[in-house]
A and B are shown apart, each in its own frame.
Chain A
């Protein structure tokens, strides 16, 4: 499910003169002119662009001396969702208007109780995922992140529409370990993470277009901190483990990450009292911003650690062989017979557990080297005609399933329809579609010259639909009607604009 990048109004023919392509670019949610937007004009089949333009202070662009014919325009500006439109340049010229949706910004400060900036802490903005899972792990997701600067400020921009939570990770975080290879835990701060505004009740920050949250401020309050130390039983000499301490109630972010010494000993410092799952994975001792890379044939270990008012010593982690899972692709008729399945960890092990597996129908794919962790399963290459119908969570903590895991591609639904716009032009309206399960997944469809619209690649479920004036970014759910979409169905819907709006 995705949001259409922009709403486009095509006015043909407008106030124009001979052989000149001209137009205006506006900010969608304010209608204000957008200066310095890039307009790339091309003719189908041509190797070079017909024109490469930039809007002026008034948002206007213009290219004179173009031959008549069909053109396509690609309009972009940093921090806005780009859009494409087509135009026919006749002897009367063409005058176009494009509206760009601004991407979201989340910004603020990170300070301690004394108001001192916590430079170097990492602020992440995590997309809320569907279903029961509150958060994905900080892994290979579309997580945007930034370091807090020496003034204590941070700013994350270019956020596509969606629902987000903001979190700051400080001390020995996966990101700090992954980027510097060292964990430094300031004694007065400890190691941990803090959601905005609190770990128990994170706020949801919704971006639909143009939102700029400026005061998402974190104050890190440090309580008593403890150490946890112990030893990993080394499976072979020269084994190196990356260890993570995850809170059992929020495994999506490690509170602290550490590396084992040559003899397998490890020590975490600055941990608050809580129930933890201590996890360990052998590393190739290479790293990137997403943590350490796994050893070629990794082994994994985990144990439970409760910190209740004192340091914990003598923890022994006994590593176990990795999990192996067999995937089996079952594709309904008309669905692709091959796809890539992505396994995104829902836990932060300090190591990069992400895996991508190629599957083909009728050919079982055995995947080894998986951690005893929870993974989210997604498939790319199923859409837009089909979607992944099977269970989306794979939990390997207690062991791998003995039977092959079925990946089921089922046909997606399509809705086509017509909107009666009354006396108004078809360009004045669009149609919005919202999933009842996930209100952030809003799709818009524009009307063609016959006032027809379509939505494809839909998962079965309940949806709301309704006409909206062009340019309106948040549809009024109360004015929309709700209905059920069956898997693989083809629905034809007729809508009408309310009488007072149609005049």
Chain B
């Protein structure tokens, strides 16, 4: 090893004796992984450091919970760690931490806190106190998304022959717990009795401990490694109703595929992941006739589409909400072809002198409440030339694209309405029916330093920036900008739109739950007011506050 080093040095000298180009020295990060709640060292934890453009450097903690990751280039390095995975218990949540590493620096005593997967179990029973097998039990996340408090399926489980379920879940969040009939195949014409009095009552999605509305539901907050037992749910039953009618593709009679489920909770992404849950689905008669039964009073979301020949995307699609009242009803509804949405990327003011779109920068549009069809949501590479997208008349989310330094996303509009804080619904535009990605380069940056009363820098704090023109809790989650401090208590924002902001720091990770958003909303009176002038760099030192 020594010989090799000498040889290399000698070679370099011989090559360029008076203009040495030093090879950037690699750095290393070492420290401990501990449990978030107990502080106990975690052995066998997976830990990795981002090291772009090279591959991340990974490692596993030893019996004392220690790790050392070496051969890392200088920069702001993201550490990701998780408690050891136990087979059959889902994936433990990933903890993130930022370390600023100088060239050849050896950063020591870094502490990463991980959470161990939590487990809850209980029994689902019916009106006869009988255990009910094959019931789907879900954790339901509540999140402010696109201007609405939404209820979204999170972790799933199913009851066994004793009505017992066991759910593995990421701890550190608050959820509702829901038991519902597992979705299945729907007949075109249901065989349910004609007389509603001779039908078995329908199973109503029931929140823990036994209510059919979110209002009465008891929320559950899970800590790291929690084992909560006896979270028993008594299923609610209601009148079983039918809806008769016809479904069609673009108005023409014929066989179409349909599915339906309660409108809320729905599939989608929440927290660090997403869950897509199947619906009751079936095919209509050859003439489009249906008789859909076992419905309970409440709101349902129906989808209808022409049966795709292969696994691909159907040609036409329709979706809508239907309210089931206390008696049998009628349903008539049709799918529609895709809508052509022209798009363009424009500058809010004069274009910059030079501008290169990053190679990986795409416009990603995905359905808000359902799994995408195969190849439905292809990413459109960002470009300055006009483009067109073919999309169904459904609610979509538009992801914020990756932009180069010095450029920020001012807005994305459709029909002169922002789609960054409301769903994007192709075909709904009034006015300019273009999807406009509006960029600007007059932004400033914020350099936040988080320190305690004594001025000691604080690592792992979340800095939250709220534009001052946001006037409601509901839009807070979509407008807030957040980041995490490194070991020196520092965080620097990307390019920000000029304007007034509230800024605060807290140990509570930023998420979209009503608990966090409500706490942040109330805490904004304690936040610092700052003004970011065009192209300015604003330095601010903040003392963290507790979010309740």
Residues of A within 8 A of B (CB): 35-36, 38, 42, 47-54, 56-57, 63, 65, 78-79, 105, 119-120, 147-150, 155, 157-158, 184
Contact = CB atoms under 8 A, between A and B. Distances in A.
Contact of B128 (A56, A149, A158, A184): A56
A119 B192 contact: no
With most chain A CB atoms within 10 A of its CB, the pick from B89, B119, B128 is B128
B191 interface: yes
Nearest to A148: B88
A289 to B, nearest CB: 14
B128 A35 contact: yes
A221 B190 CA distance: 54
Chain B binding surface SS class: loop
B94 to A, nearest CB: 19
B456 interface: no
Q: Is the interface of A mostly helix, strand, loop or mixed?
A: loop
B193 interface: yes
Given A51-B198, A53-B198, A54-B200, A157 B161 contact: yes
Contact of A49 (B132, B166, B193): B193
Given A78-B134, A120-B88, A49 B200 contact: no
Nearest to B189: A47
21 contacts: A35-B130, A36-B126, A36-B128, A48-B191, A52-B192, A52-B200, A53-B198, A63-B198, A78-B133, A78-B134, A79-B161, A119-B86, A119-B88, A120-B86, A120-B88, A148-B88, A149-B88, A149-B166, A150-B88, A155-B162, A184-B87
A48 B88 contact: no
| 10 interchain residue pairs of minimum CB distance | A120-B87, A157-B161, A51-B198, A35-B128, A78-B133, A36-B130, A120-B88, A79-B161, A147-B88, A54-B200
Chain B CB within 10 Å, residue with most, of A36, A79, A147:
A36
Contacts of A148: 88
A36 B126 CA distance: 8
Contacts of B119: 150
B64 to A, nearest CB: 19
Contacts of B189: 47
B128 A79 contact: no
Contact of A47 (B88, B89, B132, B191): B191
A157 B126 contact: no
B111 interface: no
Interface in B142-194: 160-162, 166, 189, 191-194
Given A35-B130, A157-B160, 14 more contacts: A48-B191, A48-B194, A49-B193, A50-B193, A51-B193, A52-B193, A56-B128, A57-B128, A78-B161, A79-B161, A120-B86, A149-B166, A157-B161, A158-B161
A180 B142 CA distance: 31
B327 interface: no
Contact of A52 (B89, B132, B160, B199): B199
**Which of B194, B200, B201 gathers most chain A CB within 10 Å?**
B200
B87 A38 contact: no
- Of the listed residues A51, A56, A79, A150, the one surrounded by the most CB atoms of chain B closer than 10 A to its CB is A150
A72 to B, nearest CB: 13
Interface string B422-438: 00000000000000000
Contacts of A157: 160-161
A150 B192 CA distance: 42
Contacts of B88: 119-120, 147-150
Contact of B193 (A48, A54, A149, A158): A48
Interface of B: 86-89, 119, 126, 128-130, 132-134, 160-162, 166, 189, 191-195, 198-201
A48 B191 CA distance: 4
A78 B131 CA distance: 10
A419 B200 CA distance: 40
A149 B195 CA distance: 45
Nearest to B166: A149
Nearest to B127: A36
B165 to A, nearest CB: 11
A215 to B, nearest CB: 16
Given A48-B192, A119-B88, A38 B161 contact: no
A105 B189 CA distance: 36
Q: Which has the most chain B C-beta neighbours within 10 Å: A42, A51, A105, A184?
A: A51
B89 A119 contact: yes
A38 to B, nearest CB: 7
B89 A38 contact: no
B257 to A, nearest CB: 22
A347 to B, nearest CB: 26
Contacts of B162: 155
Nearest to A121: B87
A59 to B, nearest CB: 10
Given A48-B194, A49-B192, A52-B193, A38 B200 contact: yes
A326 to B, nearest CB: 35
Nearest to B201: A54
B88 to A, nearest CB: 4
Contacts of B191: 42, 47-49
B198 A52 contact: yes
A150 B89 CA distance: 7
A63 B201 CA distance: 14
B86, B89, B193 pick with most chain A CB within 10 angstroms? B193
Nearest to A55: B128
Nearest to A102: B161
B234 to A, nearest CB: 13
A16 B134 CA distance: 35
Nearest to A63: B198
Contacts of A147: 87-88
Contacts of A51: 193, 195, 198-199
Nearest to A117: B86
Contacts of B132: 36
A149 B194 CA distance: 45
B122 to A, nearest CB: 15
A105 B164 CA distance: 14
Nearest to B89: A150
A148 B88 CA distance: 7
A295 to B, nearest CB: 22
Contacts of A155: 160-162
A38 B130 CA distance: 13
A38 B192 CA distance: 13
Which of A48, A149, A158 has the most C-beta atoms of chain B within 10 angstroms of its own C-beta?
A48
Contacts of A78: 133-134, 161
B138 to A, nearest CB: 19
A127 B199 CA distance: 39
Contacts of A42: 191
A188 to B, nearest CB: 13
B200 A50 contact: no
Contacts of B166: 149
A65 B197 CA distance: 10
Contacts of A105: 161
A150 B191 CA distance: 42
Contacts of A57: 128-129
A60 to B, nearest CB: 11
A135 to B, nearest CB: 25
